[in-house]
Structure formats: structure tokens, C-alpha cells
Amino acid sequence: MADSKFSGGGFINGEFYTFARAGFSFAGNKLFAFDSVEYDDGIELEEVYGANMAPLGFGEGSYSANFKLTVTKEDFDTVILPKLTSTESGGEGSIYGHAPFDFAVSYGKRGTGTVTDDIKGVRIMKISNKSAQGDKKTMIDIEGKALGGIWRSGTKPVGTNPAKPAKAA
């Protein structure tokens, strides 16, 4: 295997990490054989205007987080499908009736700490299969929503505590 300084990678929080230095866990189980993971989140922002052209401020809308995992058909059938259809963690035994699960992505470098992104409360909403003549492997895309948000390095994405009432004087 090539040394990490020569292989492809990307910057995470200002540090360069390679895919070879990443660890992945699906509902507490380590994953090794998959193609890719994608996740993103965001909040709706809308400008608030008055009588002038410039915005007076911004209104915040809803937060949303998305999750996508691409795995081989074999890994889907042997690792992911049994976990989704398990009734042990509160699911109903069907693929789309599964209990929410967490997915963790950990990036690490030699001599430094590990950066972990926790994708919390994932619910699957779409599974796509694609096969073509001559393919060496069959890939499955699993898409869902992270209802608990994406926590980057332990930092929650948005404030979730309701406003506290003011203390009486």
C-alpha cells in the first residue's frame, strides 16, 4: 500500500487526510468494503427586506442533513440489510421501518489525534441498484436523512434547546 503522503485525500478542518486513514462505523459495526460515503447539511437562510434594496437581516429556516452510502451488493446483503431489518434495536423488521442508526466517519494521521464526524439518527429513504453488462461488481446507493444532524468533531450543528424563560426580578 502506498504511503499516505502519496495517495489521494482531502482537507478536513485544515488538515490533509487520506481515505486510507479513515475509519467508518455503521450502527456501531465497522465497515471496510464499501465505495463511498457522502454527507451534507445546511440551514435555510432568507433575506428580510424593508423599503431599501439592501437586506435588513436574515430569517433562519429549517436545518436538514443528508446521507449517502455506496456499497457492493454483497456488503449490502451481508452487513447492512440484516442490521436494517433487525427488530433488536426497535425496528419493525422491514427495510424502511428500521430504527434510526448512527454512522461515524473518523479521520486520522500518524502522530496526531482523530477527527470524527458523527451522522446521527439516520433513516433510509431510498435504495438504488444499478447493474450493467460487463460490470465487475454491483453497487447499491443508500440515501437517507440524518435526523439527529451531523456533528463535526463533537460540535452539534444547530442549537436544539428551547429558549429559556427570563428570570423574574
Please report, rounded to a whole number, the percentage of residues in the chain having pLDDT higher than 90. 27
| Nearest CA-CA partner of 69 in 85, 86, 87, 84 | 84
Return the amino acid letter for 125.
M
The C-alpha angle 71, 102, 108, rounded to 5 degrees, equals 75
DSSP SS3 for 63: strand
pLDDT of residue 142: 93
Domains by residue range for the chain, with CATH = 26-48+56-152 (2.30.110)
User: Is 0.75 surpassed by the pTM of this model?
Assistant: no
pLDDT of residue 4: 30
Per-residue pLDDT tens for 78-119? 888 888 888 887 888 899 999 888 888 887 766 667 778 899
Q: Which residue has better confidence, 112 or 49?
A: 49
Reply yes or no on whether the pLDDT at 127 is more than 90. Answer: yes
Residue 2 binned pLDDT confidence (cut-offs 50, 70, 90): very low
Q: Count how many Cα atoms sit within 13 Å of the Cα of residue 7 in the half-sphere of its side chain.
A: 11
Q: Which residue has the cell 427570563?
A: 166
Reply yes or no on whether the pLDDT at 124 is more than 90. Answer: yes
